[in-house]
Structure 1
Amino acid sequence: MKKYYKLLIPGLLLIGNLTLAQTTLKKFNPGKIWPDNNGVHINAHGGGILYNNGTYYWFGEHKVEGDAGNRAQVGVHCYSSKDLYNWKDEGIALSVSSDPTNDIAKGCILERPKVIYNKKTRKYVMWFHLELLGKGYSAARAGVAISDNVTGPYRFLKSYRPNPGKLPFYPAGTPESEKVNVANPANKSDGFFCRDMPGGQMARDMTVFVDNDGKAYHVFSSEENFTLDIAELTDDYTSHTGKFVRVYIGHQTEAPALFKRHGIYYMIGSGCTGWAPNAARWFTAKSIWGPWTYKGNPCKGNESEITYGGQSTHVLPVEGKKDAFIFIADKWVPKNAIDGRYLWLPIEFNGDDISINWRDSWSLNDFKK
C-alpha cells in the first residue's frame, strides 16, 4: 500500500500527509487525501459505516493502484475509529477467492459493501452488489457474508437475485393502475420486472438499513436501474422474505442511502450517468413500505447539480448527538480508482426538509448538541 501511495502523489505531498497522520485530526476535509494511522489514503470506496460498542467501523471496496477498471482484486477493507476523523487500518474483512469458479473470484465486481449486526444471532452480516467474473454487469446479484467478529474475516455465504416469483407489496390505497400487470406490462420498467420475475430481480447499487424494531431491509437498484426495491430481510439478515416495494418506478436511480429521523424515512440517491457525477435526489415516506415521495435535489449552491463531484453511498447517524447525520459520498476516479476521494458533509434540517451544502472543512461541533 505504501508503494501504491507513493505512486499516487508526489513525494513532498506524501511527507506532508505522513506528518498529518501523526497529528490527531479534528476536522473533515471533503475531497482531500484522508490518511489512516499509517499515513496511507483510506481505501474503502463505495462503503458504509457500522457503529458497534463505542467504535465506528468503515467497510468499503479495496482498490488497486493503476487499475482503471472496477474489478475486485483484493476484497473489502475495514477501518475503525472512535471519533470519525482518525481511522485505524483493520485489514481486509472479506477476501476475494483465488478459485475462478467461486462467485467472489478475484476479478469479479464487488461493490458497495455494508455491514449490519444481528443481535439475535450475534453475527455481523455483510451485503454487497456482485457481478460474476467475466460477466460484465449482467449478473446483477446480491451477495452476503457473515462473521463472528466485526473486523472479520467474513465468510461468503451465497449470491443470488432477490425475491424470485414474488410480486411487490402494495400499501393500502395503491391504485390498480400502479400495480404490475404480469400479462400486459404497462411500461418499460414493468417489462423488466416481469422478464426477471422467475429468476429474481436484478440487484445492483445497494444499501442495508436496520429499523428501530430490529427489522432489516435491503435497498437496491433493480429493473435495469429503472426502480429501487426496498426488500425485507429474514430475521437472521441473510436472506429475503419475499416482501418488497418498488420506489420511483420508471426513473433510473442508483447509489441509495437510507436513514430515519423523527419517524420519517429518508432516502438519498443519484441518477445513472456511469462514473460521471449528476444531481442527487431525495425521497421521504412515513412507512418503510411507502408511499415514497420524490423531493428533488438536496444539494445547494455551486456544483450542486453534480453533487459536488460525488455520488451518495451512505448516511451516518452520529452517536450521542441529536439530529446529527452525515451525508457520505464518493468522488470516483475511474482512471485510477485508488485515488477516489470521500465527501463527508453535514445534513441540515428545516422542519422535515433536508439540504446539503458544500464545506471546505468542518467538524462535529458544527452539529447542535
Structure 2
Amino acid sequence: MYKNTAILTISSILFLSSCDKNNNDNTIINEFPTQTVVINNPIIDHLFTADPAGLVHNETVYIYTGHDEQVYGTNGFLMKDWHIFSSKNMVDWKDHGAAMSVSTFSWAKADAWAGQCVEKAGRFYWYVPMAHKTIGWFGIGVAVSDTPTGPFVDAKGAALITDKTPNSIELNIDPTVFVDDDGKAYLYWGGWGYCRMVKLKENMIELDGDVVDVPGLSGFTEAPWLHKKKGIYYLSYASGFPEKISYATSSSPLGPWTYKGVVNDLVKNSPTNHQSIIEFKNQAYFIYHNGGLYSGGEFRRSVCIDSLFYNLDGTIKQVKQTTKGVGKVL
C-alpha cells in the first residue's frame, strides 16, 4: 500500500509581554497546543499525474489518471500512458501502475490525454483520446476489461470518434461517459470551446444516433464531466483560460443545460483545471489536478482531492482547495 502522507507539526508557542502603566510585571501567556496535520494534497507524489477520473466500485475508489512525463523546464505535454490508483479510505492509495498506453490502440500514435472509465453490466469501459495516425488530429477510443484495474484491451479496433464522424471535427478530447439508472449511456467530449454529445448503444462501443452540439455552457473550454444526484444532472467543465471549473444543470442527460456558476477556482501553478466528481460513503468529493508538487507546473501536474458540498436547492458550493485534502487533524 502506497501512503502519501506529509506531517506538519505546529509546536506550542509562548508569547511573553510585561509591564503595565504601574511598572508591575504582568506576564501574558498565549499558548497554542501542539497540532499534527496530515497533508494529503497532492495525493500522489512519486510521479506526475493529471486529468483524474474517479470511479466507485465495491467500496473502493479508483482514480484513472494521465501521466505527465515532460522534463522540468521544457514546454509541451508529454503523455504516453495512463495509471490507476485505488483506495478504500481516500487517504492511502495503491498504485496499480501504467495500466494502458497509446500502444494499446493500433490506430493511435501519441498523446495519452484525459479519459474516463465506467462500469456497465460487470465490465469496465475506458474512453480515452489520442492523436490518430491517419484521420485528422485526435480520436476517441475505448478499451474494455473484466476488472477495474485491467488488463484493458482495445474494445473496437478503431476509434469511436474521429474527425470524420459527422459534426465532430475540431478537438476530440476529454470524453466523459455517464451510465444512467436505466442503463442508457451518454458520451460528452470537447475542446477549444466546442462541446458535443451522442448516445451510446448497449454494447458501449457504437454510437446510437447523431452527434449534437451542447449549448448553454457559458465559457466552455474543455473537460466535461457528467454526474447525477437526486434527479438533477450536473455537467461540469473547464471554462476560460487559465481555467476555472464551471457547471450547468438539467433534468435530463440530454439537456437543455442551465449555467449555475463556478465549482473550482484557478488552481496552483497550472493554467489547466480538470475534474471529476464522485460520492463515496455518503460524502461527495471533487478530484482535480494542480501543479503543486516540487518542480511541478503546467506540464507536470498532480492529482488532488477535496470535499464537495451541495446547497439545499441542489446547487454546488464552490470547492475550498486545501493541502490537507481529506486528511484529518490528529
TM-score range, shorter chain: 0.7 to 0.9
8 Å CA contact 2:287, 2:304 repeated in 1: yes
In structure 1, C-alpha distance between the alignment counterparts of 2:53 and 2:187, rounded to whole Å: 13
Cα distance change on mapping 1:286 and 1:164 into 2, 3 Å = farther
Cα distance change on mapping 1:165 and 1:338 into 2, 3 Å = closer
Cα distance change on mapping 1:159 and 1:347 into 2, 3 Å = same
Q: How far does the alpha carbon of each residue in 1:211-249 deviate from its partner, in whole angstroms, 9 at most, with x for none?
A: 111222211016xx3331222111121222124542236
Match of 1:286 in 2: 251
> When the two structures are aligned, how many residues end up with a matched partner?
288
Match of 1:153 in 2: 151
8 Å CA contact 1:312, 1:327 repeated in 2: no
Deviation at 1:129, TM superposition (A): 1.5
Match of 1:51 in 2: 56
Cα distance change on mapping 1:240 and 1:164 into 2, 3 Å = farther
Cα distance change on mapping 1:71 and 1:104 into 2, 3 Å = farther
Q: How far does the alpha carbon of each residue in 1:314-356 deviate from its partner, in whole angstroms, 9 at most, with x for none?
A: 11122x31xx321222225898677412232222222221122
Which runs of 5 or more residues in structure 2 are unaligned?
8-36
Match of 1:356 in 2: 318
Cα distance change on mapping 1:255 and 1:17 into 2, 3 Å = closer
Match of 2:222 in 1: 254
8 Å CA contact 1:142, 1:203 repeated in 2: yes
Cα distance change on mapping 1:202 and 1:145 into 2, 3 Å = same
8 Å CA contact 1:280, 1:298 repeated in 2: yes
Deviation at 1:163, TM superposition (A): 10
Q: How far does the alpha carbon of each residue in 1:185-208 deviate from its partner, in whole angstroms, 9 at most, with x for none?
A: xxxxxxxx4xx5xxx675222212
Which runs of 5 or more residues in structure 1 are unaligned?
1-15, 21-25, 167-192
Q: Secondary structure at the match of 1:97?
A: helix
Cα distance change on mapping 1:262 and 1:358 into 2, 3 Å = same
Aligned mate of 1:325, from 271, 284, 290 = 284
Q: How far does the alpha carbon of each residue in 1:139-181 deviate from its partner, in whole angstroms, 9 at most, with x for none?
A: 2311111122321121123214269676xxxxxxxxxxxxxxx
Letter paired with 2:107: D
Match of 2:131 in 1: 131
Larger Rg: 2
Larger relative contact order, structure 1 or 2 (CA cutoff 8 Å, min sep 6): 2
8 Å CA contact 1:46, 1:330 repeated in 2: yes
Cα distance change on mapping 1:332 and 1:19 into 2, 3 Å = closer
Aligned mate of 1:242, from 182, 206, 209 = 209
Aligned mate of 1:341, from 281, 293, 302 = 302
In structure 2, C-alpha distance between the alignment counterparts of 1:331 and 1:159, rounded to whole Å: 30
Q: Secondary structure at the match of 2:103?
A: coil
In structure 2, C-alpha distance between the alignment counterparts of 1:209 and 1:81, rounded to whole Å: 22
Name the structure with the higher strand share. 2
In structure 2, C-alpha distance between the alignment counterparts of 1:312 and 1:88, rounded to whole Å: 22
Match of 1:70 in 2: 77
Q: Secondary structure at the match of 1:357?
A: coil
Match of 1:109 in 2: 111
8 Å CA contact 1:68, 1:336 repeated in 2: no
8 Å CA contact 1:93, 1:152 repeated in 2: yes
Q: Secondary structure at the match of 1:311?
A: coil
Structure 1 residue runs of 4 or more that deviate by more than 4 Å after TM superposition: 16-20, 162-166, 249-252, 307-310, 332-338
Name the structure with the higher helix share. 1
Match of 1:218 in 2: 187
Paired-residue identity, %:
24
Match of 1:87 in 2: 93
Q: Secondary structure at the match of 2:158?
A: strand
Aligned counterparts, 1:2-17, within 5 A? none
In structure 1, C-alpha distance between the alignment counterparts of 2:67 and 2:194, rounded to whole Å: 28
Cα distance change on mapping 1:241 and 1:364 into 2, 3 Å = farther
Q: How far does the alpha carbon of each residue in 1:251-282 deviate from its partner, in whole angstroms, 9 at most, with x for none?
A: 54211122111101011111253xxx323221
In structure 2, C-alpha distance between the alignment counterparts of 1:231 and 1:28, rounded to whole Å: 40
Aligned mate of 2:103, from 97, 122, 132 = 97
Cα distance change on mapping 1:68 and 1:103 into 2, 3 Å = farther
Letter paired with 1:50: L
Aligned counterparts, 1:171-190, within 5 A? none
Aligned CA RMSD, in angstroms, stands at 3.5
Q: How far does the alpha carbon of each residue in 1:67-111 deviate from its partner, in whole angstroms, 9 at most, with x for none?
A: 6432333x1111121112111111221133299xx3234xx0121
Match of 1:296 in 2: 261
Q: Could you tell me the TM-score, scaled by structure 1's length?
A: 0.67
